Amino acid sequence: MKKALRITLVVLLIICFMATISYAAKRGKFGVDERHLAVQKLKVDASDKKFNWKMVMPWSKGLLFYDICVHFCDSVRLASGGRLVIKPFSAGELVPAMQSFDAVSKGSAEVGHDWPGYWKGKNEAFVPFSSVPYGLDGEGYNIWLYERGGAKMMDDLYGQFNMRAFPCGQCDQEQGLSSNKKASKMEDFKGMRIRTVGWYMDILNEMGASVSPLPGGEIYLALERGVIDAGEFSSPAMTYPMGFQDICDYCISPGAHQPGIQCALFINKDKWATLPADLQWIVQICAAETQAWSLWWIQNLNAKAVVLLQKDMEFVRMSDEALNEFAKASFDYIDRMSAKYPLVKEIMDSQELFKADYAEWREIKKGLAPWPRDQYVGGKHLQ
């Protein structure tokens, strides 16, 4: 009797298993690793040839962006077994900060690193690859770049300037404006002298502020001497060592101007072509590894830095009304840029389509932000 029951159970399990396979076959496979399809039959031979390259950048050694570059260079050296060594040079060591793009384009240096928005004077389409007011956050950039064609668009744009490009450094939302003015409403920003860059500079100017894109190293003195009323430079972990909290009483948050700080690695096309295929793959994989690592690294540092900043600064949150008005002005500006520049429209349409496609899942998964247990059971659920 027991043997008959065991046989019946096995038969039932087999029938269920076959039914599951049948249903799955009707639906088709869900999710495809496109890289696997591209490389599954690719034979990549390792080369013994060694390369020594130089990396230039707009970053000084005191900035965490410089450390992101060093991390990438270390990864390449380790993964290649020393066959490709890239030496990082901070701003001014080989070329001035804002000449790094041209140096790599012309082949004076093999590799560069940047915040793409610095090159808006060359093409406005660089800005969406750096950060857009009320645009993609770190999670959104990673999905859009790697799964929705954003990285290919980035590479194509840099390709117009004789370079290959890869995402390489994501630092999520910026801190906001350091200031001695407690601004939270729209009228508070009228006439303010502000330091910021990218499209937000133009947007604030249109809204009645007076904005200048001072280099990072000049912001502290400009704030201290009253040349500007407010200034920003990246995330809490970047801001804390710059010392803005020593001379400013307030931080105006959130950093709506840059919800996600995206950086890029760019390589001279002619130099890239000299690399054997295995080293080209190593560079691409190390860039992606740096992209992932930098987000977790900077967020952990942000959590520590914001506690230190709050000892000397009051964090002031913009009112919902101000956030909405800034958003409307930002979207209007972006629409005008899209109408004027076809490539900007193509990129922004792609980002907006991703945001729309992701909205349903974002709505369903909200409410489970990992707040400390006492805060969650106390009713604090949303991010």
Contact in structure between 154 and 123 (CB atoms under 8 Å): no
CA distance 124 to 268: 21
- Average pLDDT for 325-345: 96
Per DSSP, what are the bridge partners of residue 53? 86
CA distance 9 to 15: 10
pLDDT at 50: 97
The interaxial angle of helices 342-365 and 150-159, nearest 10 deg, is 160
CA distance 94 to 65: 17
CA distance 140 to 167: 13
Please give the angle made by the CA atoms of 164, 165 and 170, to the nearest 5 degrees: 170
Q: Which of 188, 378, 155, 137 is nearest to 283 (CA)?
A: 155
Q: Is the peptide bond before 88 cis (omega within 30 degrees of 0)?
A: no
Q: How confident is the model at residue 6 (pLDDT cuts 50, 70, 90)?
A: low
CA distance 296 to 301: 9
- Between residues 191 and 19, the one the model is more confident about: 191
Q: How confident is the model at residue 23 (pLDDT cuts 50, 70, 90)?
A: low
- State residue 302 phi and psi, 5-degree precision: -60, -40
- The bridge status of strand 51-56 relative to strand 111-114 is parallel
pLDDT in tens, 59-82: 999 889 999 999 999 999 999 999
- Between residues 347 and 31, the one the model is more confident about: 347
Q: Which residue has the tokens 């369903």?
A: 364
Share of the chain above pLDDT 90, in %: 64
Contact in structure between 214 and 195 (CB atoms under 8 Å): yes
- Between residues 56 and 367, the one the model is more confident about: 56
Q: DSSP assignment, residue 255?
A: B
Q: Which residues contact 260 (CB under 8 A, 6 or more apart)?
A: 131, 135, 136, 137, 138, 140, 141, 170, 171, 172, 173
pLDDT at 10: 56
- Between residues 4 and 327, the one the model is more confident about: 327
What's the Cα-to-Cα distance from 16 to each of 87, 315, 345, rounded to whole Å?
A: 59, 58, 50
Tokens at 344, concatenated? 């900007």
Question: Is 117's pLDDT higher than 70?
Answer: yes
CA distance 289 to 273: 22
CA distance 300 to 295: 9
Residue range(s) of every CATH 3.40.190.170 domain in the chain: 51-171+260-300
Determine the residue type at 148.
R
pLDDT in tens, 127-166: 999 999 999 999 999 999 999 999 999 999 999 999 999 9
Q: Which of 7, 4, 51, 91 is nearest to 272 (CA)?
A: 51
pLDDT at 20: 58
Contact in structure between 239 and 233 (CB atoms under 8 Å): yes
Q: How confident is the model at residue 231 (pLDDT cuts 50, 70, 90)?
A: confident
Contact in structure between 197 and 260 (CB atoms under 8 Å): no
The CATH class, in words, for 51-171+260-300 is alpha beta
Count Cβ atoms below 10 Å from residue 368 Cβ, excluding itself: 10
User: How is domain 174-257+311-341 classified at the CATH fold level?
Assistant: D-Maltodextrin-Binding Protein; domain 2 (3.40.190)
Share of the chain above pLDDT 70, in %: 93
pLDDT at 15: 61
Residue range(s) of every CATH 3.40.190.10 domain in the chain: 174-257+311-341
